Structure 1
């Protein structure tokens, strides 16, 4: 298991931001309105969401530095959705400018942290700044794949996949236990129920499946009591923004 520290998390954030901006730099004017890998969302929706989460995390850090707290998005989940819909139709030039500004703001905020700063409380998931950094890392890496430009989950690093195994263990249904067997790497068990399913395949395919994305290498296999079975159903992605009715 690879341990993520504030120092290497900052490096990962910068690397992931470079990937996203690199993809945006190669898009054409009409590409932003083309469908993404997310149902019902264009690439413009994905880019707008990346900007939104980057600015939201930067705001969490701004308030944490003053010993204050604020909700992740203005208006909660509904506010998040409204902002994405309003920005999704922007021109390519607007998307690129917004993306550059949002990522620069977030990276500056994380880059300015001292050691105690990483442990400052934030509203997001009732955690600390380090948790917010991990969340932004997930958003950047996964949504880079969601843009659907040929850079899929097969490009995800081992540290990132292993982080997803930990974070997405919350998707294991009650009463179940998954034994993850990435090819050539140690097994990892998630969940604590009595019904065991073994999920074997390439590391990135297992991580993609857990993240609700399409495995790109076609290597996944599920077994229970040594018999082949269908891949188990997963619980919803653990929500970071409360949904209000």
Structure 2
């Protein structure tokens, strides 16, 4: 199976964004001040850090779409990564009610910005990844789905849809180290091949666990198993996450 064969249409992307936004709003509605301050699934980050990041990236991606409609472009974050990191630290400690308003408004702004695009505007160039508006919409989908799981409030990768996992695997294919190729064998469905190296590592598990592992997220013990030349081996290391900033 080729992951790009399952590329969603623009209408499917919008439907996925709306569903992901509903999921985030569900999370926001159940948060208290104590739960916001609790650790998330991301090392060193509280749930407040995750919410502050969602707020920042949602507003940033919304701006990409809003500018695209006017034929304009701007960097993802004014001030680059230092400004992005500072905003997360500054916003992380807010009360649950503040996160509820800020994050909810940012997510709604972003979904609304992409919903406002005319069919031809999805191919309008944006500064983000030197791509088009569609690339920014797909990034928003990834951010909302993955970071909802990162909150650690009960939603895990097991709730990720097959279509999302296939998209994520294709996006993260650059994480396959040079010289290696991965043959992913989900428990249901055809094998998925990533990378072009001569040394092939076979990885088995549920599609959701395979996607989460490639995204650097924790899976249950034995959730992903690796073998090479018919023998069990440790899970291979991964390259860096494809950076939105380095190629702008």
TM-score range, shorter chain: over 0.9
Instruction: Report if aligned partners of 2:204, 2:210 keep a CA contact under 8 Å in 1.
Output: yes
Q: Distance in 1 between matches of 2:223 and 2:147?
A: 22
Aligned to 2:150: 146
Deviation of the 1:217 alpha carbon = 7.4
Q: Quote the residue 2:25 is aligned against.
A: 21
Q: Find the counterpart in structure 2 of residue 225 from structure 1.
A: 229
The alignment status of 1:170 with 2:174, answered yes or no, reads yes
Maintained 8 Å contact 1:152/1:216? no
The answer on 1:118 being equivalent to 2:116 is: no
Residue 96 (1) aligns with residue 100 (2)? yes
**Aligned-partner Cα distance in 2 for 1:70–1:48:** 21
SS of the equivalent of 1:90 reads coil
> C-alpha offsets along residues 93-116 of structure 1, whole Å, 9 cap, x if unaligned?
110000121111111111111111
The reply to whether residue 79 of structure 1 matches residue 118 of structure 2 is: no
Structure 1 unaligned residues grouped into runs of 5+:
none
Specify the alignment match of 1:187 in structure 2: 191
Name the SS of the counterpart of 2:172 in structure 1.
Answer: helix
1:12 aligns with 2:16: yes
Aligned to 1:159: 163
Q: Assess if the C-alpha contact under 8 Å between 2:69 and 2:117 holds in 1.
A: no
Give per-residue Cα distances to partners, 1:54-91, cap 9 Å, x unaligned.
Answer: 10011111211111110001101111101111111111
**1:45 and 2:62 correspond:** no
Matched position secondary structure for 2:217: coil
Q: SS where residue 33 of structure 2 aligns?
A: coil
Q: What pairs with 1:228-243 in structure 2 (closer than 5 Å)?
A: 228-242=232-246
Write the distance in 2 (CA, Å) between the matches of 1:41 and 1:26.
19
What number of residue pairs does the alignment pair up? 243
Give yes or no for contact 1:161–1:207 (8 Å, CA) kept in 2: yes
> Where do 5+ consecutive residues of structure 2 fail to align?
none
Q: String of CA shifts for 1:157-196, please: whole Å, max 9, x gaps.
A: 1001101110000100111100000012100110001010
TM-score by length of 1: 0.96
What is the RMSD computed on CA atoms of the aligned residues?
Answer: 1.2
* Matches of 1:43 and 1:241, distance apart in 2: 24
Distance in 2 separating the partners of 1:169 and 1:43: 28
Q: Distance in 2 between matches of 1:101 and 1:71?
A: 21
Distance 1:44 1:22 in 2: 16
